[in-house]
Chain A
Amino acid sequence: MNRVLVVDDEPQIRRALRTSLEAHGYEVQTVGTGEEAVVGAAETAPELMLLDLGLPDLDGTEVIRRVRGFTELPIIVLSVRDGQHDKVAALDAGADDYVTKPFAMEELLARARAAMRRAQPGEPPAPAMRYGSLEVDLGRRLVTLDGEPLRLTPTEYQLLEAFVTNPGKLLTHQWLLRKVWGQGYGTETTYLRTYVRALRKKLGDDAQAPELIVTEPGVGYRWVAEGADDGS
């Protein structure tokens, strides 16, 4: 059974989350302060933390920083703050995802499942994944669309690799730039946008009705396609 640590100072939210999560088979521990959250993350080793940013003692971003000091446990921020500053700050501090309150329970559960799946140790990623008519084989560095091989530039390929190895995760501009271009980068969002546009075009993804890459304005991108293990 998956253990979830819920950190929120509002008893009503704690109760609602506890009820819904337990109904879905999770074991739930709830705390109301940042200090308790850090202690809880260390002592009970949960598989997921749902964290409110507006805590009475510590700011949520500080909690993320402290928790990241000793564990890579997935953290999903739940917050009423919807400004891009707050999102980027929490994500850059090490949060895995950011869900704005009020949220739909099914969406939160989907994000939670994706985050825990990404964090699963041991199991090596499948060498080849299929997303509808798109097939990505990281082992052979081969990308095909409708069975036809796609010619991607090295940068486009690295970008695609960053996306498919972090499915469902909200990847900030800064994170993607450092991952693909290197440590010296972080503010050159124009490059990033140009390459994402080119990649979308080659993958046949319509930005007005995206099925692969979703834009989070001012924050980053998210690979949303559910992959199927290609098996071959």
Chain B
Amino acid sequence: MDEGIDYEGTARITLRAVVIGLLTPAVATVIAYPVAPTRPAISIAVFLLAVVIAAVAGGLWGGLIAAIIASTVRPLVVAEPQLSFRLDDVEDIATGVVFLSVALVVGLLVGQASEDRARASRREREARFLGTLSSTLHTREVPDRVLDEFAEVLLEPFALSRVAIEATLDGTDLRAVARADGDVAGGPRTSVRLLNGDASIGTLVAERPAGGRPFSRDDQLLLEAATRQATAALDRARLDARARIAQLDAETNQLRAAMFSSVTHDLRTPLASIKAGVTSLLDTSVQHDPGQERDLLTTILEETDRLNRLVGNLLDLARIRAGALTPTRQPASMDEIVEVVLARMRPRLSGHTVGVDLPPEPPDVSVDPVQIDQVLTNLLENAGRHAPAGTEIRVSVLWRHGSVQVRVADEGPGIPLEDRDRVFEAFYRGSSIPETPGSGLGLAIAKAVVVAHGGRIWVEDAPAGGCVLAFEIPAEEAFA
């Protein structure tokens, strides 16, 4: 709607109508002058034609002006001698009346037709505008965004300087304001109610720049139609938001169920081993040899460590859920973190070959070293669990486009494409390997930490088979 919506009345007298009204009789005079005295009928026909042309081209006013001039000039042209004035002839008066009638009829018909045409094209533009509006607004998922967008798209088609919308939805007050650049406010203004059924849920106030056109009835009607569309979109967005909350609740419940079964299993299993071991050692009715005793004690120790790790993970998860996972950033070097983690993890990765690629002089990053330590620990634990003994686990640190990237590549079975996003969900253990010893929390915690640092974490295929778990933390975030 580049040309805007124009509602100019066709019956208005315009410069164009005046020019045409003057010009056509002038041309007719020039044509009729040589033949008029001998063939008055032809001269009448020529002037009549001029009046018709003027009415067609210049509308009602063009026709009327031409008719008046033609009826005045024609008797002068046909007079004997030419240009002597005599207006007493009944014939001349009748001709004048005919000219005026023709101009009136043709002018009105032409005006009607052009008005119809203008109205049709306006309706078409309005329909297109409302259609676009509807599809634009319905893609907005949040009520606030619907209103913002709505306010914004009204500016140009209605030539507005400012739109302000206020609405109350489900007890929440929403507000949207849009302003056109550079326009001075203070021109004509109008307002439209936002109706949901019969109930008013808010008001839209539209304002044109100072000196702008006043709002016509058509403007008002179109604005109301657009507002009805926006209200419908608003209502749909509200229902969508409700549906999303319901879905989130369902997911939370599912997560809770998974958590209960996982926690029950993972907490009780080591406890069972510990209790079995201890009661066996306390049992005075049997005599364990030193080897058996040591086995039992080793089991107790290992299961205690496992339990401790699980509790740590659950605590972290609880912190994440409570939104308490705020990184305590300090300047740290990624290679130092890698070295510390590897030093600690070596005993548990003793079945694997561990390779490291570190850049020679890595710049510092501002991260929470304890949290990033844990991310890497969890990635290495995951690799150690899934990759068969004797294979290589390789840790690399690289700088790429102002981000530090840490990659843990293993030669394990890899992760199927469909599982790649889900591996970072809590309590997800992979569809292909249901009974792995992990708690299903390590990668979820890793993801939460990386995201809290403004970074991302993902799965890739490793060139040598297996997979790469990689995370990246932007340096600009890192130094923020």
Binding site for B on A (CB under 8 A): 82-85, 102, 189-190, 193, 197, 207-210, 214-215, 217-218
B392 within 8 A of A: no
Q: A189-B331, A217-B370 are contacts. A207–B337 as well, Cβ < 8 Å?
A: no
Residue among B340, B364, B368 with the highest chain A CB neighbour number at 10 A = B340
Residues on the B chain within 8 Å of A218, using CB = 328, 330, 368-370, 373
| Bound CA–CA A190/B336 (angstroms) | 12
Shortest beta-carbon distance, A90 to chain B, in Å? Answer: 15
Q: Which residue of A lies closest to B338 (CB)?
A: A208
| Bound CA–CA A214/B356 (angstroms) | 19
| Bound CA–CA A83/B336 (angstroms) | 19
| Bound CA–CA A85/B371 (angstroms) | 13
Partner of A208, one of B308, B328, B339, B368: B339
Residues on the A chain within 8 Å of B191, using CB = none
Residues on the B chain within 8 Å of A83, using CB = 370
B343 within 8 A of A: yes
Residues on the A chain within 8 Å of B370, using CB = 83-84, 217-218
Q: How many residue pairs between the two chains, A and B, have CB atoms under 8 Å in the bound complex?
A: 46
Shortest beta-carbon distance, A221 to chain B, in Å? Answer: 11
Residue among B304, B308, B370, B373 with the highest chain A CB neighbour number at 10 A = B370
B339 touches A207 (CB 8 A): yes
Residues on the B chain within 8 Å of A102, using CB = 304, 308
Q: How many residues of B contact A (CB 8 A)?
A: 21
20 A-B pairs, CB-CB below 8 angstroms? Answer: A84-B328, A84-B369, A102-B304, A189-B332, A190-B331, A193-B333, A193-B336, A207-B336, A207-B340, A208-B342, A208-B346, A208-B356, A215-B340, A217-B337, A217-B369, A217-B370, A218-B330, A218-B369, A218-B370, A218-B373
| Bound CA–CA A193/B362 (angstroms) | 12
| Bound CA–CA A82/B328 (angstroms) | 14
User: What 12 additional pairs, Cβ within 8 angstroms, besides A102-B304, A190-B364?
Assistant: A84-B370, A189-B330, A189-B332, A190-B331, A193-B333, A208-B342, A208-B343, A215-B343, A217-B337, A218-B330, A218-B368, A218-B369
Residues on the A chain within 8 Å of B343, using CB = 207-210, 214-215
Q: Which residue of A lies closest to B333 (CB)?
A: A193
Q: Which 3 A-B pairs have the closest CB atoms?
A: A207-B339, A217-B369, A218-B370
